[in-house]
Amino acid sequence: MNKKKVLFPVVILAAAAGGFAALKASRPQPAPVPPTEQVWRVETMAVAPAALSPQLTLYGKVESPELTRAAAPGVGRVSRVLVLEGQSLRRGQLLLELDPRDFELRVAQARGQVDELTAAMDSERMRHAADLDQLEQERRLLDYAAADVARFERLREENFYSQAAVDQSRQALARQQISLRSRELAIKDHQARMAQLRSRLDQARANLEQAELALMRSRVIAPFDGIVAQLQVAQGDQVGNGQTLMTLYPLAGLEVRAKIPAPYQDEILDQVSRGRSLEATTRLAGETLRLKLTRLSGAADARGLDAFFRLTTRHDQLRVGSLLTLHLSRTAVEGAMAVPYAALHGGRQVYKVESGRIRAVQVSVLGELAGERPMLLIRSDGLKRGDEVMTTHLPNAVSGLRVEVVKR
């Protein structure tokens, strides 16, 4: 093979590569770009330390201390049901009625026992009066019988009467003595028999009153203005003694039970012991309702202590069992500052804006300041009135980061 033919392509490729390298090396170099620092656009607010009251958020349930359960006074059948669950009721309104015949028969039976024992006591009084009247007659008859025995014995000694006549007179004397003792015993036993009859009559009268009370309670009458919470029976149902018929409660006495968390328990107890009136607010049906702490539970557990709040004004849309979020006002703290929740970073610091850069400031979180826009209450010696605090939450925020303040 001809060596010139083999080397010629190689020379051409080498020349082309050398020319490309020469052209690349001779091209003009771009001017270097100086590095630029990124600027973050943030919002700020000026803080204003003041005496502010932190809000403690509680979750409560509406209860009624006057919740009433109407129960059947005895075995019977439901005759009429005149209300429905959730219906408003008025004081004195008839709500439900059991068949009165189930209770009228018991009243009649109890009244018959009272009448029977009353007649027995009258009979005993008349018998006692007769015993007292006949007691003197019995004693005179005893004297006559004793005189006959003495006379017959004397005549027997004179042989005018036989021994049989004397024995008959003695038997008559013995019979009269027994009759007198029986009469005296009946008179002495009169008080015991009267006491027994009186006790039975009292029991019968109690049974009559109980039967009459059951008859009266067979008609469920509303004791107050309120709401029917639950209805457990329907017309025609057979019910037993003590069975719940319906549950109702007044709107005027509703209260909210909420748990005071254990970390705040001592603070609230101290405020109550000092006689300080604690108030809370809640939202219901677009309205802000005010409540007042009325009392604390007598027993606590590991989670905290139950507190009872009562509305200062009546609200007809409140219902037993409703869940409410309460904001309890605590003791005012001097030097507190309200900032948006977004201003807090890492749970314990905010960033102050100085000369276009941010600087971390350690803070103490006091709680929440309730309102249309809930705010976080903080306190820090590193902040003073007028300092601009960043309110935009930056996950990568560090001290020295350059920012640009955006005004809204």
The CATH 1.10.287.620 domain(s) of the chain lie at 103-215
For domain 70-99+218-250, which architecture applies?
Beta Barrel (2.40)
End-to-end CA distance of the chain: 86
The CATH 2.40.420.20 domain(s) of the chain lie at 42-52+334-405
The pLDDT value recorded for residue 105 is 92
For 205-322, list the strands marked E by DSSP: 219-221, 226-231, 238-239, 244-250, 255-261, 279-284, 287-301, 304-311
Give the residue with greater pLDDT, 172 vs 124.
Answer: 124
Burial letters 152-189, b for 16+ CB under 10 A, else e = beeebeeeebeeeebeebbebbeebeeebeebeebeee
Cα–Cα distances (Å) from 70 to 101, 219, 228, 239, in that order, read 20, 10, 11, 12
Q: Token pair of 219, please?
A: 């008609």
Residue 85 near residue 228, CB atoms below 8 Å: yes
The pLDDT value recorded for residue 293 is 93
pLDDT tens digits, residue range 317-337?
888 999 999 989 888 889 999
Closest CA to 278 of 264, 291, 259: 291
pLDDT tens digits, residue range 152-173?
666 666 666 566 666 677 777 6
The pLDDT value recorded for residue 310 is 92
**Pairing of β 44-46 and β 388-390:** antiparallel
pLDDT higher than threshold 70 for residue 385: yes
Q: Which residues contact 318 (CB under 8 A, 6 or more apart)?
A: 62, 251, 254, 284, 311
pLDDT higher than threshold 70 for residue 4: no
Instruction: Report the C-alpha gap between 98 and 403 in whole angstroms.
Output: 79
pLDDT tens digits, residue range 268-305?
999 899 888 889 989 888 888 899 999 999 888 899 99
The pLDDT value recorded for residue 140 is 73
In the chain, what percentage of residues exceed pLDDT 70? 85
pLDDT higher than threshold 80 for residue 120: yes
Instruction: Report the C-alpha gap between 97 and 80 in whole angstroms.
Output: 5
The pLDDT value recorded for residue 25 is 67
The pLDDT value recorded for residue 123 is 87
The pLDDT value recorded for residue 216 is 93
Q: Any idea which of 82-96, 184-198, 384-398 has the lowest mean pLDDT?
A: 184-198
Give the residue-averaged pLDDT of 27-46: 76
Q: What is the mean pLDDT of the chain?
A: 85
Q: Which residues contact 234 (CB under 8 A, 6 or more apart)?
A: 78, 81
Residue 232 near residue 246, CB atoms below 8 Å: yes
Q: Any idea which of 82-86, 142-146, 267-271, 289-293 has the lowest mean pLDDT?
A: 142-146
Instruction: Report the C-alpha gap between 330 and 367 in whole angstroms.
Output: 9
The CATH 2.40.30.170 domain(s) of the chain lie at 56-65+253-329
pLDDT tens digits, residue range 333-353?
899 999 999 999 988 999 999
The pLDDT value recorded for residue 32 is 66
Query: What's 67's DSSP letter?
Result: -
The CATH 2.40.50.100 domain(s) of the chain lie at 70-99+218-250
The pLDDT value recorded for residue 54 is 87
Instruction: Report the C-alpha gap between 265 and 306 in whole angstroms.
Output: 10
CATH class of 103-215: mainly alpha
Superfamily the domain 56-65+253-329 falls into? Efflux pump adaptor protein, beta barrel domain (2.40.30.170)
Q: Token pair of 320, please?
A: 């037993």
Residue 282 near residue 289, CB atoms below 8 Å: yes
- Residue whose token pair is 């005179």: 140
Residue 337 near residue 387, CB atoms below 8 Å: no
pLDDT tens digits, residue range 219-277?
999 999 999 999 999 999 999 999 999 999 998 889 999 999 998 899 899 989 988 88
pLDDT higher than threshold 60 for residue 1: no
CATH fold label, 42-52+334-405: 2.40.420
